């Protein structure tokens, strides 16, 4: 974030034509906030930090369901790409949903994009946010620094949430003084398609905060499940060891990766085999997760590292995103 003008007007709402939408700010500034924490916060105005795969998807879904969103990242170039991605994704939705009424589809896109503002200045945008939802790089120190700084600037009622896949929410929250207003909201990729949200409560998350996060997830049209702050929450705690076990089976020469993928698709009814799924998730991400768990619990055999995974990551073969992982992609 640069040392730019820190007025809330620094944020730029995006319409289809990229024009500034002053009404967006007028509405936010008119609202005013009480200085005491509000119980059962109804989340309407959100700041999503990180305009990558997950943040852009979350912003799209929130804006499509009538929330105003300020999407924050480190540069305007990144944010322009995020907005382009959101528009492209909305066009795909509209093509199906409004197949017979292209004009209504165009109107829908314009309306949704009016709900999205972009900014490189989280410190200003936080002041008008009911919820700060973080989807930045998976690095504990960077997440802690961000939340620690925003904690001093946010309104008392503002709820903080992280979309982390593998870090303890309790550790991220420890840099703030709002442990009762801190939780996890774990979305799945691609966010507009995947119905699930894991709502994570730490031992300090208040019932009001938990209820607000649950209701917010429902307002997004998602199906929330509740989970304690344990490694991998529900889905990844089951999925990552499964993918690692498939890798070990292949490393031992018990089956080819193609056969293992076919077996799990046709025998277990999974939409992707474990190697296809690993390439989709990203082998770097998988390594990061398993290394973290293994460091915390080195004796646990299901968290044991894999030589093959380490080798592929060292070679820069991260899966679909780099064009090669277990398989090659054009």
| Nearest residue to 134 via CA among 146, 152, 148, 121 | 146
Among 142, 153, 266, 296, which residue sits at the site for ligand NAD (rule: CB under 6 A)? 142
Distance CA 113, CA 110 (A): 5
Q: Return the ∠ at Cα 295 (arms to 292 and 301), rounded to 5°.
A: 100
Among 51, 105, 183, 273, which residue sits at the site for ligand NAD (rule: CB under 6 A)? 51
Using CB under 6 A as the binding rule, whether residue 54 contacts ligand NAD is answered as yes
Q: Which residue has the tokens 């507009």?
A: 192
Sign of the alpha-carbon dihedral angle for 177, 183, 189, 193: negative
Using CB under 6 A as the binding rule, whether residue 170 contacts ligand NAD is answered as no
Measured in residues, the chain has a length of 330
Window contacting ligand NAD (CB under 6 A); options: 6-14, 162-170, 204-212, 223-231: 162-170
Using CB under 6 A as the binding rule, whether residue 144 contacts ligand NAD is answered as no
Contacts of 3 (CB under 8 A, 6+ apart): none
Based on the residue annotation, tell me whether 198 is a catalytic residue of this protein.
yes
Using CB under 6 A as the binding rule, whether residue 148 contacts ligand NAD is answered as no
Give the SS3 label for residue 277. Answer: helix
Distance CA 116, CA 70 (A): 6
CB of 49 to ligand NAD, least distance (A): 5
Using CB under 6 A as the binding rule, whether residue 79 contacts ligand NAD is answered as no
Pseudo-torsion of CA 190, 117, 170, 298, nearest 10°? 40
Distance CA 125, CA 9 (A): 9
CB of 72 to ligand NAD, least distance (A): 6
Nearer to ligand NAD by Cβ, of 161 and 246: the residue is 161
CB of 271 to ligand NAD, least distance (A): 15
Using CB under 6 A as the binding rule, whether residue 78 contacts ligand NAD is answered as yes
Per CB under 6 A, contacts with ligand NAD among 185-204 are 187, 189
Based on the residue annotation, tell me whether 87 is a catalytic residue of this protein.
no
How many positions of this chain bind ligand NAD (CB under 6 A)? 23
Cite the annotated binding site for CoA by residue number.
89, 96, 165
Among 43, 47, 48, 49, which residue sits at the site for ligand NAD (rule: CB under 6 A)? 49
Q: Return the ∠ at Cα 157 (arms to 153 and 163), rounded to 5°.
A: 80
Catalytic residues: 165, 186, 198, 236
Which positions touch ligand NAD (CB under 6 A)?
A: 49-55, 72-74, 78, 135-138, 142, 146, 163-165, 187, 189, 281
């Amino acid at each position: 974030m640069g040392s730019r003008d820190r007025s809330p007007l620094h944020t730029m709402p995006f319409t289809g034509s990229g024009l500034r939408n002053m009404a967006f700010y007028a509405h936010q500034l008119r609202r005013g906030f009480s200085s005491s924490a509000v119980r059962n916060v109804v989340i309407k105005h959100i700041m999503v930090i990180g305009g990558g795969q997950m943040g852009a998807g979350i912003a799209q879904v929130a804006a499509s369901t009538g929330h105003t969103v300020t999407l924050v990242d480190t540069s305007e170039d990144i944010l322009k790409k995020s907005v382009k991605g959101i528009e492209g994704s909305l066009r795909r939705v509209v093509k199906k949903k409004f197949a017979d009424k292209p004009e209504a589809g165009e109107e829908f896109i314009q309306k949704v994009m009016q709900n999205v503002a972009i900014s490189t200045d989280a410190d200003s945008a936080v002041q008008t946010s009911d919820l700060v939802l973080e989807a930045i790089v998976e690095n504990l120190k960077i997440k802690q620094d961000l939340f620690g700084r925003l904690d001093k600037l946010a309104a008392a009622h503002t709820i903080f949430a992280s979309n982390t896949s593998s870090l303890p929410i309790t550790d991220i929250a420890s840099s703030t003084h709002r442990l009762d207003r801190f939780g996890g909201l774990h979305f799945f990729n691609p966010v507009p398609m995947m119905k699930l949200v894991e709502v994570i409560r730490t031992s300090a998350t208040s019932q009001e905060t938990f209820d607000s996060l649950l209701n917010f997830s429902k307002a997004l049209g998602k199906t929330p499940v509740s989970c304690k702050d344990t490694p991998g929450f529900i889905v990844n705690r089951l999925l990552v060891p499964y993918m690692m076990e498939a890798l070990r089976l292949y490393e031992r020469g018990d089956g080819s990766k193609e056969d293992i993928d076919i077996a799990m698709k046709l025998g277990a009814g999974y939409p992707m085999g474990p190697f296809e799924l690993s390439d989709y998730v990203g082998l770097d991400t998988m390594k990061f997760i398993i290394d973290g768990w293994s460091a915390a619990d080195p004796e646990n055999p299901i968290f044991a590292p894999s030589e093959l995974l380490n080798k592929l990551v060292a070679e820069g073969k991260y899966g679909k995103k780099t064009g090669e992982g277990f398989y090659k992609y054009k």
